[in-house]
Structure formats: structure tokens, C-alpha cells
Chains A and B, each alone.
Chain A
């Protein structure tokens, strides 16, 4: 290949580093620091207000895992070179980009955005798999009123872990695989603005996942995914795993956000003005633009939680001068924009697919952009609607009710774009096309139930009940996941060179959609009856609704497993895909399968937008 590899047959350091060395170095570091901390950390002072020594040991050893893992994967080589006043050579950069490496490039710190996209796809599936297993444990336990299959401590930990894992999974499910693989090609670039940061953002997620899994074996977490303090302060050691997971994931998100934003702003092809930029790009950029200010606040809230646990501070401990409301505010300032981080790319992806599957232009690109911008802008002004019942600021209920209800207007614009594009088109019956209908159905229900919740007096009844759980599953899963699965089917040919098995994807679509609606309609019912959320057991009157929900959940499980099989079998031995199976007009469909390392031989020049379908009226 190049000189430095064949020189004296001695492998350079960067050639040796991969996921296995990362795990090894991370594990060794964690164990070493754990033993050192165990031996040398002083015992807690007699009068220390909170139990700290074990938390310190746990946090220190998790930080050691993180540093060891990132060193072992090779993330520090670049910075290490800069400290020496050098940088990577061109051959090393090509090595990093995975040139001629075959399948090994997926197990390394590879910078090629296409490799990172595939890596994100795989880890998203793993995350959904784990989250899905936890969901099935939850619903099996709730099949009978008295609960009793999984004991309360493990159940609460499973509920909280399911929540946070699914939130992370849904955050990355569109922006990760498709924002990374497809987006640069779609804007006519060769790679992203910061390829090494791209690899970093992916491997940070792998590094983050281990503390969360580890947490389950050291007592689990006692809170929901929102990790409310002061309960989080009382939680067993697993809470430190949650804190580390979030801190590392927040860094990953911020890095990815900076990368995506810079790429889109600076590296669009010649002639691709903002008017000609596909709507999917707007969706991805809006999503990360929201995440960029939101996640540092999340990071901060968790650092303070960790400090309360390990260093005896009292940010959230009212008895010592702090306040749980501080935590709620910090959390929800992130928590609300975050749900739009999840939703916008999925809806934008479907808006991108709608013209392709109706063979007519997108109905009002400008309205779509306004809708996305309106939602993004308003979403940072609504957070305290999660706190109407907290007692924090009753006088602020009305203003937050105003801002929250205003969001329905830009959201409605997105509906207008989708149904406008369906109107008088030539409907091509594919799963992505039907996903648009599924999104309209699910998002309508999710959105309207959101209006009930935004109303303070109604929220006095609905807050903290299963109604809320059903509402956000309808929006994040019914709308969000539907868009993500449609994106998978749509872009699968480009990413893998194969078509996803049609029959299996239809079966998976129907099972998932029907199972989903059965499950969460049952949940709306028990919520309206008065069942609180996050309960391990419930009263007899809720038994019918819960049984229906459990049956729906099992149906979803079968649908998702069928989809999993479809993905794996099609990837390995599916029908070979032509270059542009959907006859779509965006730039990614102009490159061959498999996509060459640098995407385009000659960078394209764009002269119109990508929605030039349909015949001009004579």
C-alpha cells in the first residue's frame, strides 16, 4: 500500500488499535483505578451528609474506563501528534479513512463518513434491541395486576434504563446512520468537515454504553429516565453509571452537532443554494442545532448530580440549601428540545421521501422549512410544561401553556406539507410511502394528546399517569421510529448495495404498526382510568387495558424481530440494488453502489432543487 506499512514489517501504532484494544485497555484501566481507589481513598468522615466513598470509587473507575477505551481506540493519536507539533500524514489519513481495509475498517477509528454511518446503524439496532428486551420484561411483568415477576428494585431500574436507552437510540436513529452516510453525499461533498470528530462521536457512544450496562450489576438505578433528584441521590451505585453514560453521550452529541452543522453550512456543492438544499438536510441540521445548546445543560445537571453523590455537595438537597426544582429545570431545558431532536429528522426524512413516492413535487418547501424552524425555535421556550404540577412556579403555568400550544402551529405546517404532497400524486405502494400514512395517523394522535397535556387543568389529572407514557410513545415511536424505519428501507440500497426484502418489510410494517396502536391505545385507556406511571404493579381495574397493551407489545416484538431478520438476511444475500432504485433526484442516487471512497469523481454542480417531478402544466 504505502511505505510506512511495509517499512521493516513493524506495524505502526495506529494500525494496531481497534475496538478490541479499546475494550482491553478500558477494562484494565477501570480495574486498576478501582483497586487503587479502594486501597487509598479515605473512609467517609463520620458526619458526612451523603455516602460518598463508594460513589467516588465507582465514578473514578468509570472515568478510567472511558479514558482507557478512548486511548485504546486511537482517538488520542491526533491530539498527541499536535502536541508534538506534527499532524497525520496523507497516508495515515487514508489509512484512517479505511482505504483498502475491507471489513476491518468497521472495527477501527475510521473516519470515512460511510463507515461511521454503518457503525451508527449497527449500534442503533443494538440499542433498540436492548431497549426492546427491557420493554418486553416490563410488559410481561405488567401482564397481571399484582406484578410480582420482577421484583420492585430491578423493575424500577429496568424502566429507567429502558427509557434512557430508547431516548438515546431515538436521538441517533436518523441523524446517526443517515445523517452520516447519506447527508454528505446528498449535499455533494466528499466527506464531512471534521472526519476524525465523526469517528470520535461514534466511539464515544460505544464507550458510554458500558457504564450503563455495568450499572445494572451494581444495584441499578432507582429513578426513571429523567433521573430526578433527590431520588437519584438516594439511588444505588448504578446511578453513577447513568451519570457517566449521559456525560459521555452529551459530548458525542455536541461533537456530532458541530460536525454536521459545519459540513452543511460550508460544504454544499456548487449551486446548492439554501433553496435547493433538500428538506432532509434542514431536518438534520435543525435537530443538531437544537441539541448543541441543550446537551451541555444535561451534562451539567448530571455533573451536579454526581457531585451531590460523590462529593457531598447539596445542589439538589433541600435540607442543606439546595433544591430539587433546580434539577427539574436543568433537565427539562434539555428534555423538551430533545424530543424535537428526535422527531424532526424522522419527519424530514419522510418529507424527503414523499415526492419520490408520489412522483410530484414536495408541497411547499418553504412551509416545510418554516415548520421546522418554528418548531425548533419554540421548543426552547416550553420546558416548564413538564413541571406544571411540580409546584415550582404556578404563575408561570399560563405563559408556558401559551408557548406550548403555539407549537401546534408549526407542527401543523409539517402535516400540511405531507398531506399536500400526497394529494394528487401517483402513489407508489412501498413501505416508505405507507409509512407516511402511518406517521400521519400516529402523529395526529400523539399531537392532539399533547394538546390535552399542555392544558394545565387537564394536566392536573393526566400528569404522571400512563396517559403521558402513551402520548410520548405515539410521538417518539409512532412518528419517530416509523420515519426511521422508512429511512432504513429507503436508503438501504445505497448503504448496503442490496434491496431490503420486500415481503418481510411489509410484514414487519403491519405487525409493528398494528401492535403499536393496540399497545398504546390500551395505555391511553388505563391512563385515563387513573393508573400512575412507572409502577411495578397496579390495581385490578387497570387489568384489562394492561393486558391489551402487553399483547400489543408482543406483536411489536414479533414485527421488529422480522425486521431484524430482513435486515440481516438482505444485507448478506439480498437482491442487488441498482444505482437509483427509486428514481429519486437527490445527489446520493447519482453515485454507484458500492459508493467509492471519496463519493464523487468530480464534485457535482447543482442547478435546481431535488423536487422536479411531475409535468409542467401546459
Chain B
């Protein structure tokens, strides 16, 4: 091989290596690099009689990141930012979870998500998102007060199609690209927990004993990559309150992958 080729070839290789190195560093600098697979949960029969395999996910929404989980013990870089996270089936806080906002479910499956909402709330920007959309019958199951110590509902479970627009804690809004496949759009409002209890619990260094509990089921279509984000603006101090936690993945948004 001609010696003269070493120089340019070397430059090209070093250049590629530099790019690959920087790329790897940037790609790894994610807030939440893991994915949680939904757990299988038998079969689900829809109103029209069709039967789908069913999977479950349990999530919590916290008023700050101090719960640990995927933000780490101290709450990470922004301990005061609200955050979603993985939760136990009875709303247990899971401080050791390594991931918490990216989920994977199979296609053509009924996905049941249960969310315990530990934060207080206010009015939405757009009360469209106070309505339940995209679930199997346009409804969600709702418990206004859930007792995490007793691990039971402290108020009766109701079926809702919407909640008052000024009592919204957060929403779970799932959407994606318009991709030639079925459009998947699911949005469920999560009512706020009682303001005073949330405040008192935060001062004591924990979370309220009485979160709200919402669960809903939707059917996925073909494979695809979607995202979910909250549509309740809580990024205080920023335009439309949609900055800070609202504009950082793994706090109030995450990936939702539909894949076999």
C-alpha cells in the first residue's frame, strides 16, 4: 500500500473516532436510558366481544424527584421538579427503580395503566385534556382517595369521562407521528390530591398518604414508536409554564414503544 495513503486515511479514521466518541457520550447522557416492559396480565375482552392479550403498567406521579427511582437517591440534578416514576401495584414508591418513564408494550394488545397521583394541581391550559380520550370505552376508573397505608380505596371507585378542569394534577397523553399505521392517541386526566395534605407531606419529607388513583385501558395497533407527555403545565416561571420539567424527558414525558 502506498505510504502516502496513510496520512489521509489516518485523518479520516481519527475523525470518525472523534465523532463516534462524542456521539456516544451525548447519546448516553439521557435522564432515563432504560425501558420498562409491561407485565402480562391474561386476557381482555372488549365490548364487541373481541379478545386481546392484556398487559399492565403501574405508575406514580410525584410532586418532586426526591422519591429516588430513575433520578437517583438525591433526586438528581433537579430534585424540585415534578416527575413520573414506576410504582408498585398499590401505589408503593419504588426508590430503587433504575428506569421509570419509557415503556414497551406489544402491538394489538390491551394495555391497562394504573396511575397513583401524589401531586396537587390547578387549572389546565386547554380543558380538552380534562376529558378521557382513546380508552376502550372512552372512560377511566377513578378513585378520589386511595389509602396507601391500608392499601385500599378510601372512597368509592367511579367511572369517569372527564374531571373538573380546575382540579387537574397531571395528564397522561400518549401520541405519536402520523405514520401510515393506526393513530394511537390516548389522554387521561389525573386529578389532584388534596393540596394541604401534599404540602404537609412534603414538609415531612415524603408523600401524601392519600393519592388519587386512575386506571384506564386502551388497545394498541401496529408496531410504532410513540411518546407520552403530561399536558398540565407545571414548569413554573417559563413561557406557558411548559419549560423545565415539562420540557425534559423522563420527568413529565417519555417514550412509548409498541413492539412485539
Chain A interface residues toward B at CB < 8 A:
44, 48, 50-52, 133, 136-137, 140, 146-154, 158, 222, 230-231, 233-236, 317, 319, 504, 507, 537-541, 557-558, 561-562, 564-566, 568-569
Contacts A537-B225, A561-B15, A569-B7 given; does A149 touch B27 at CB 8 Å? yes
Q: Which 4 A-B pairs have the closest CB atoms?
A: A51-B237, A565-B11, A234-B243, A234-B239
CB distance from A508 to the nearest CB of B (A): 9
16 pairs, A vs B, C-beta closer than 8 Å: A48-B237, A50-B238, A136-B19, A136-B23, A140-B23, A146-B225, A149-B23, A150-B23, A154-B26, A539-B177, A540-B181, A557-B15, A557-B16, A564-B15, A565-B8, A565-B11
CB distance from B246 to the nearest CB of A (A): 9
With the chains together, A51 CA to B238 CA distance in Å?
6
Q: Which of B11, B30, B237, B239 contacts A44 (CB 8 A)?
A: B237
**B152 contacts the other chain (CB 8 A):** no
- Does B247 contact A537, Cβ atoms closer than 8 Å? no
- Does B243 contact A236, Cβ atoms closer than 8 Å? yes
- Does B179 contact A540, Cβ atoms closer than 8 Å? yes
**B201 contacts the other chain (CB 8 A):** no
Chain B interface residues toward A at CB < 8 A:
7-8, 10-12, 15-16, 18-19, 22-23, 26-27, 29-31, 177-181, 225, 235-240, 242-244, 247-249, 255
Contacts A540-B179, A540-B180, A562-B12 given; does A233 touch B239 at CB 8 Å? yes
A residues less than 8 Å from B238 (CB atoms): 50-51, 233-234
With a 10 A CB-CB cut-off, give which of B23, B29, B235, B240 has the most chain A CB atoms. Answer: B23
With the chains together, A136 CA to B18 CA distance in Å?
11
CB distance from B242 to the nearest CB of A (A): 6
Contacts A234-B242, A539-B178 given; does A151 touch B225 at CB 8 Å? no
CB distance from A544 to the nearest CB of B (A): 14
Chain B residue with minimal CB distance to A135?
Answer: B19
Main secondary structure of the interface of A (DSSP, over half): helix
Chain A residue with minimal CB distance to B238?
Answer: A234
- Does A50 contact B225, Cβ atoms closer than 8 Å? no
- Does A230 contact B239, Cβ atoms closer than 8 Å? yes
CB distance from B210 to the nearest CB of A (A): 27
- Does A565 contact B247, Cβ atoms closer than 8 Å? no
CB distance from B187 to the nearest CB of A (A): 20
B residues less than 8 Å from A564 (CB atoms): 11, 15
- Does A137 contact B19, Cβ atoms closer than 8 Å? yes
With the chains together, A122 CA to B106 CA distance in Å?
53
List 15 additional A-B contacts (Cβ < 8 Å) besides A50-B238, A231-B239, A557-B16.
A50-B237, A136-B19, A137-B26, A150-B27, A151-B27, A153-B248, A153-B249, A230-B240, A234-B243, A236-B243, A504-B8, A539-B179, A557-B19, A562-B8, A569-B7
B residues less than 8 Å from A569 (CB atoms): 7
Contacts A233-B239, A539-B177, A539-B179 given; does A561 touch B12 at CB 8 Å? yes
Chain B residue with minimal CB distance to A152?
Answer: B249
- Does A137 contact B23, Cβ atoms closer than 8 Å? yes
